[in-house]
Amino acid sequence: MPVRHVVVSAHNGVHARPVAELVRLAQAHELPVTLRTSDGTTVDLRSVLAVMDLALAPGDEVLLETAPSATSESVLAQLARVLAPDA
**Which CATH number characterizes residue 55's domain?**
3.30.1340.10
Number of domains in the chain: 1
Asked if the structure places residue 67 within a domain, the reply is no
Asked if the structure places residue 44 within a domain, the reply is yes
Indicate the pLDDT class of residue 17, thresholds 50, 70 and 90: very high
Distance CA 78, CA 72 (A): 10
6 close to 64: Cβ distance less than 8 angstroms? yes
Asked if the structure places residue 45 within a domain, the reply is yes
Contacts of residue 16, defined as CB under 8 A and 6 or more positions apart, other chains included, come to 52
Q: Is 15 a catalytic residue?
A: yes
Asked if the structure places residue 18 within a domain, the reply is yes
Asked if the structure places residue 68 within a domain, the reply is no
**Catalytic residue selected from 5, 11, 15, 29:** 15
Asked if the structure places residue 37 within a domain, the reply is yes
What is the residue range of 34's domain?
3-62+75-83
Tens of pLDDT, residues 30-82? 889 999 999 999 999 999 999 999 999 999 999 999 999 999 999 999 999 99
